[in-house]
Amino acid sequence: MGCQKEIVSQIVEKEANYVIALKKNQVGLYQRVDDLFKEALSNQQAGYQYSEYIPEESGHGRTEIRRYQVLNNIQNLVEPSVEWKHLSSAACVQYYRTIKNGKTKLETRYFITSLSYEAQQLSQSIRGHWSIENQLHWVLDVEFNEDDSRIRKDNAPENLAIIRHIALNLLKQDKTEKRSIRSKRNRAGWDNNYLLDILTNQ
C-alpha cells in the first residue's frame, strides 16, 4: 500500500491523473470506501455528489450488467490525512453476469481516483484498467498456473506473486527469439546461459 502511495505521488508530480483499484488487503482504506458507499445509498445519496451509469451488454452466451457509482469530492471523508495526493473521487463497480444455465454472479470492486468525473465518463477509464488487469491475470494463470497455487500461509502468496511478476517482465523483455512465455520459461530452466541472459537483460 505504501508503494502505491509513492506511485500516486510520482503520477501527480508528472501532472497526470490516476485510477487505482482497491484490494481487500488494504483493509483500512477499503473499509472506509465501502462504508462511504453504504452510507450514501442508505441516505439516497443526500449530501453527496453522486452519479450512476448502468450499461448492459450481451454476447458469448451471457448477459453482463455493470453498475458504475461515483462519489466526487470525498477526500476528507475517506482520507483526511492527504496521504493519497489529489484523491478526489471513489467509484464502486458492480458486475452482474448471467450465463447460459441462468446462474447470476455478482462481483463488486472499488476504485479511488484523482479524477472528478461523472460515472459514464469514469467508466471508460475503469474499463481500460480492468482490461489490462484481466490480461495480466490471464497470462499469469495460463503461463505460471497462478490460480492453481495452494500456497496460502503468511506473506508467501504475496511474495510469490511479486516473483511471478518480475519473471514475467524479464521474459517479456527478451527479444532474441520469438517464443511464447511458456517456451521461454522452459528454455530458461534447461539452459543456464539463456537464464543468465534473461536475468541480466542481455
- Dump pLDDT digits (tens) for 118-167: 898 888 888 765 555 555 555 666 667 666 667 677 777 777 778 777 88
Q: What is the mean pLDDT of the chain?
A: 80
Cα–Cα distance, 123 to 113 (Å, whole number) = 12
All 3 cell numbers of residue 28? 483500512
Q: Which residue has the higher pLDDT, 138 or 178?
A: 178
* All residues at 6 or more sequence positions from 161 whose CB lies less than 8 Å from its CB, including other chains: 146
- Residues 8-46 pLDDT 10s: 888 899 889 988 888 877 778 889 999 999 988 888 887
**Residue 177 pLDDT level (bands cut at 50, 70, 90):** confident
Question: What are the strands, taking DSSP E only, across 73-156?
Answer: 89-98, 104-113
Cα–Cα distance, 52 to 174 (Å, whole number) = 44
